[in-house]
A and B are shown apart, each in its own frame.
Chain A
């Protein structure tokens, strides 16, 4: 039986919450990357992302992708999770962008369907673009999935990311859950009073009304949060406490990341 609009919305909200819970659980698992100092991990994986973006040869990008897979396995992240959370959506979006290149890039044809011909050069360009995007997204996902979000934020601060940006990111992550809970409550309460499947016009009306109410509640919440910050001494500038302590193993990881990034850059130049 086809699920109603309200049921589908509830399922999406629950899935979003589950996704966040799973990511937090993974970050606290005893894996290889989970043990690495957040600053070194953020800097090292960011260097690998840059190397993947700069590499001009597919084998170099493929090696970085293989390294990302190895790191994921050592960090107890199952490939099925990466496939669902990262690879499929990235393939969809990047593939959509790369698709025209298959046909419009001049070069020797490798396959043809009537007037449409896929060129070897186009195929290589599209493969390189998709491979870069998949590798970069996998490496970025490794940071998020193996590091508690607060540590990611603090690491960003260590790298001189403006404190306002870090504070906004932190509060956004914090209040997404409050608003998600509010939305879930609203839709559950609507479901408890709804019989049958809503007409399209009613679904649109319900979606618009819910969005309006959520926006209004969010505005009220933001005003109250600002008051709560003022009440505890906030004067327009946020101060954070940096309490990282790198160990010898962290510096080894740092060297490993640097070597891998340098090798990929040299090979892929």
Chain B
């Protein structure tokens, strides 16, 4: 009987600190291959730090992370062979596209990763063209990134990672600061990308996205793993979401009473509200 493939990432009791501030506190989780996972949490809950640890950019102060059964440690990432293989297979899209777009043109930006990984020139040109077409930004190829809109920058940032066709995609707030149309286009792309065969880990605090982009969720709160489960299970738990600062407190005014109050966005109260009509 064939043995099950090892998890893509195995995180065991990982802690990380920024000087005196604890970003992650003894977090353990396992990420199986081919799954779409969401890391949920409010700002400062440790989501971005965890993504950077998974991408081998930071290393835990304590605990251990392994990638497909191999320890993900500084020494291994200093070896060319492991580093090239890892960078080819795992891609990270940063929250702020300005951080990620450091090349003079869109074409150079998308070509950066295959160039650093020493792909042949013909292959680079072919891959860049395919990534630009996938993100529908071929018309921007000669434009400098600082002249692009927020949505265009995000697409370029995605193309610059998808150009390597990674097995694992790490996304930090992929729809942050985007208009609704750009958000929807990026979600559609993520749903269709890789025909469901890729591992996608998305850090977000936008609960509206979760059911579209994830099969399973981890909820982080103050650097600790507070809960895990399917999107439906977590989204049902109002107390948990409210405790983690993830649900909207919707303040509004009653026409007859003239007073205002707040309550969760799902409107569990039976009294009429102005926006129900």
Q: What residues of chain A have their CB less than 8 Å away from a CB belonging to chain B?
A: 24, 148-150, 153, 170-171, 173-175, 177-178, 221, 224-225, 227-235, 238-241, 243
Contact = CB atoms under 8 A, between A and B. Distances in A.
B87 interface: yes
B176 to A, nearest CB: 15
Contact of A232 (B87, B125, B147): B87
B122 to A, nearest CB: 11
Interface string B78-121: 00100110011001101010111111110010011101111001
B146 A230 contact: no
Contacts of A149: 104, 144
5 contacts: A148-B142, A174-B103, A233-B116, A235-B80, A240-B115
Nearest to B111: A241
A124 B144 CA distance: 45
Contacts of A228: 94, 99-100, 102
A231 B116 contact: no
B124 interface: yes
B111 to A, nearest CB: 5
Given A231-B94, A241-B115, 19 more contacts: A149-B144, A170-B103, A171-B102, A174-B101, A174-B103, A174-B144, A221-B98, A225-B102, A227-B52, A230-B57, A231-B57, A231-B91, A232-B87, A233-B87, A233-B113, A234-B116, A239-B115, A241-B124, A241-B125
Nearest to A230: B57
B160 interface: yes
Interface in B118-174: 118, 121, 124-125, 142, 144-147, 160-161
A174 B55 CA distance: 25
B46 to A, nearest CB: 16
A240 B99 CA distance: 19
A178 B108 CA distance: 18
Interface residues of B, number: 38
User: 5 tightest CB-CB pairs across the interface, nearest first?
Assistant: A150-B104, A233-B116, A177-B146, A232-B113, A224-B99
Interface of B: 52, 55, 57, 80, 83-84, 87-88, 91-92, 94, 96, 98-105, 108, 111-113, 115-118, 121, 124-125, 142, 144-147, 160-161
Contacts of A175: 102
A235 B116 contact: yes
A153 B113 contact: no
Q: Is the interface of B mostly helix, strand, loop or mixed?
A: helix
Nearest to A228: B100
B94 A232 contact: no
A148 B118 CA distance: 26
A233 B57 contact: no
Contacts of B142: 148, 150
A149 B104 CA distance: 8
A5 to B, nearest CB: 27
Interface-centre pick from A178, A233, A241 (highest chain B CB count, 10 A) = A233
B105 A150 contact: yes
Nearest to A229: B102
A174 B117 contact: no
B102 A224 contact: no
B146 A174 contact: yes
Interface-centre pick from A177, A178, A231, A239 (highest chain B CB count, 10 A) = A231
A222 to B, nearest CB: 10
A197 B233 CA distance: 58
A175 B99 CA distance: 9
A230 B105 CA distance: 19
A231 B87 contact: yes
B145 to A, nearest CB: 7
A258 B98 CA distance: 42
A27 to B, nearest CB: 11
Given A150-B105, A225-B99, A232 B111 contact: no
Contacts of B88: 233
B220 to A, nearest CB: 20
B116 A241 contact: no
B162 to A, nearest CB: 11
A221 B76 CA distance: 26
A232 B131 CA distance: 15
Contacts of B111: 241
Contacts of B112: 229, 232
Nearest to A181: B146
A24 B87 contact: no
Contacts of A233: 83-84, 87-88, 113, 116-117
